[in-house]
Amino acid sequence: MYIHQREGWPEFRWDNAVLVSLLAEIRHKQGRLLGRMEGLGFKLREEAKLNTLSRDVVKSSAIEGEDLDAEQVRSSIARRLGIKYADAVVASRHVDGVVEMMLDATQRYADPLTKKRLFGWHASLFPTGYSGVQKITVAKWRTPKSGKMRVVSGAIGRERVHFEAPTAEVLNDEMTTFLAWFGTDNMDQVLKSGVAHLWFVTIHPFQDGNGRIGRALADMALARAENTPDRFYSMSTQIEAERRDYYLQLEAAQRGGLDITKWLKWYLECLGRALDSAQAELEATLSKARIWEHIKSSPINDRQRAIINRLIDGFEGKLTSVKYAKITKCSHDTALRDIKALIDQGILMQEEAGGRSTSYRLVME
């Protein structure tokens, strides 16, 4: 028996005593992160927002096994938010659609969630009417014609059914109940994001795209919790990093009873780790800003700027003159002159080992 077949569905229960301290910790981390972000300059804040939204879109699709071009995603988001982005590329129709859905959920978080809006999101995800090579029903609930909606694994003939969603015949009633609940202000929005995600993917109202839309709904509730469209942490990125456990927790909840305390506990803990990762990234952003503040008055050419950024972002191995020449596509003599200039300006320093293994690092590391 699945959770949606239980008597009383969808009257979820949970143990507040188990969740209250986790919820308080999440609220503290959210406030601390948003407070620190407010202290950043406009340019750094815009860069952090662009980075977060780009990762969120890419990783939410990656959870479903779809690889989106990160540069196209970044370019599409920057264009829609009016953020200047030097390396802008033309995004595909599909990438633009995925971005459009995510931005509608997070930037217009306060707007009512309606059936029409969900259908618009679904149409954005599947602009051609196809999922891969399969034609699907778009901007409508799945129909009886599509058959049973099951999550399965294993070889053909030996499949294991992990979950079976409600039948197509009851979807309109199920989603009417869900949308009415989502529109109420009757509980903490952080907790609501976890309930909404589980509830939506359990109903599984569309033929495809339910996971991505479910995570967009979770992000929408989190934006409501913070009362801001600015996103500085990515729940989808953390879920993708813990994908195996995510699916195990979902399956356990969907096969269990209406008490979803265990699911919400895992969800809040995962959200906490997402916030911790964002704090670590903020430290890296501030460190990068301090380095550029230190060298902003120094004459830097494009090759040197590219190398400095590579070193700040985490250079693999040691920087040598040979690697410098290869990365910047210049001659070895030019690489040596660039490196010497950076040393003279106090930006680079030579490591102790000399000779053919001579390497360099940033002074402010």
pLDDT attached to residue 338: 95
How confident is the model over 326-342, as a mean pLDDT? Answer: 94
Omega cis (within 30) before 10: yes
How confident is the model over 285-312, as a mean pLDDT? Answer: 82
How confident is the model over 252-261, as a mean pLDDT? Answer: 97
Which fold, 3-287? Fic-like fold (1.10.3290)
Q: Say if pTM beats, i.e. exceeds, 0.85.
A: no
pLDDT attached to residue 282: 82
Question: 16-43: per-residue pLDDT in tens?
Answer: 999 999 999 999 999 999 888 887 778 8
Distance CA 166, CA 163 (A): 10
- 253: Cβ contacts below 8 Å, ≥ 6 apart: 3, 198, 260, 262, 263
Distance CA 278, CA 287 (A): 14
pLDDT class for 354, splitting at 50, 70, 90? low
297-362 CATH pick, 1.50.10.10, 1.10.10.10, 2.60.120.10, 3.10.310.30: 1.10.10.10
pLDDT class for 167, splitting at 50, 70, 90? very high
pLDDT at 109 over 80: yes
Q: Is 15 left (phi over 0), alpha (psi -120 to 50) or beta?
A: beta
- C-alpha Rg value of the chain to the nearest Å: 24
pLDDT at 365 over 70: no
pLDDT at 115 over 90: yes
All structural domains of the chain with their residue ranges:
3-287, 297-362
Mean residue pLDDT across the chain: 91
